[in-house]
């Protein structure tokens, strides 16, 4: 258990590199993005659209992490590693973390292989690199997901050809906002780590 509040941030790469989503291919992706943004807000997480560049990802993560250091980063499997390369060279980013670092780092950065508009969830492959640790242990979990991998409902992940690959032989989780519980009394956030 953690004493502090655990928070989540979903960052989505915008397809046109602008700060707001414009000129998307069809109205459906825009409506999915609007629903995703609304659901993310309901869960207590935040979402930010960033340009599709390694420097934009680095700047957004550093701004969100503020002065919190060290930062843990799970190696991406679905996004190009280039997106995290500038961030990895920043001071305070752990390059060779050990078990103690997993427990003490206040910020963790992972990718998600998909996002779900209806629930405001991101899908993280917890078998990838150290993503399981990085998504659960730090107080602040920042997730980077490509906007092209936004689907409407969870079942769509298993119907779309772009997602039909060996990924589903791995362990993955749907993450929807900061951890919370209400099964033993009042709602308390941050009781299980950043889940």
Q: Could you tell me which of 14, 102, 25 has the C-alpha nearest to residue 60?
A: 14
* The pLDDT of residue 90: 95
Q: What is the pLDDT of residues 23-33, one digit of tens each?
A: 333 455 788 88
pLDDT at 55 over 90: yes
Q: Per residue in 116-167, pLDDT tens?
A: 999 999 989 888 778 888 888 888 999 999 888 888 988 888 765 555 555 4
Q: Which residue is listed with tokens 């655990």?
A: 6
Closest CA relative to residue 13, chosen from 50, 38, 46? 50
User: Has this prediction a pTM greater than 0.85?
Assistant: no
Burial of 1 from C-beta contacts in 10 A (0-12 / 13-18 / 19+): exposed
Which of 20-58 are b and which e, b meaning 16 or more Cβ less than 10 Å from the residue's Cβ?
ebeebeeeebeebbebbbebbeebbbbbbbbbbebebbb
pLDDT of residue 16: 41
Q: Are 88 and 74 in contact (CB under 8 A)?
A: no
State the pLDDT at residue 163.
56
Tokens 């420097």, residue located? 55
C-alpha 147/C-alpha 73 separation (Å) is: 20
Of the listed ranges 5-9, 14-18, 86-90, the one predicted with least confidence = 14-18
């Amino acid at each position: 258990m953690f004493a502090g509040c655990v928070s989540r941030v979903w960052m989505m790469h915008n397809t046109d590199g602008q700060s707001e989503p414009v000129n998307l291919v069809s109205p459906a992706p825009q409506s999915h993005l609007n629903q995703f943004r609304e659901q993310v807000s309901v869960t207590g997480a935040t979402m930010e659209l960033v340009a599709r560049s390694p420097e934009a990802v680095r700047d957004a993560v550093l701004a969100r992490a503020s002065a919190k250091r060290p930062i843990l980063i799970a190696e991406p499997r679905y996004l190009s590693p280039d997106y995290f390369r500038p961030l990895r060279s920043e001071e305070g980013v752990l390059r060779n973390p050990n078990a103690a670092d997993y427990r003490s780092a206040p910020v963790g950065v992972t990718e998600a292989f998909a996002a779900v508009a209806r629930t405001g969830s991101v899908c993280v492959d917890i078998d990838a690199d150290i993503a399981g640790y990085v998504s659960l242990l730090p107080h602040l979990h920042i997730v980077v997901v490509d906007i092209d991998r936004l689907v409407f409902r969870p079942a769509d992940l298993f119907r779309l050809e772009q997602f039909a690959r060996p990924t589903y032989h791995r362990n993955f989780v749907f993450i929807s906002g900061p951890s919370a519980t209400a099964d033993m009394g009042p709602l308390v956030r941050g009781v299980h780590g950043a889940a």
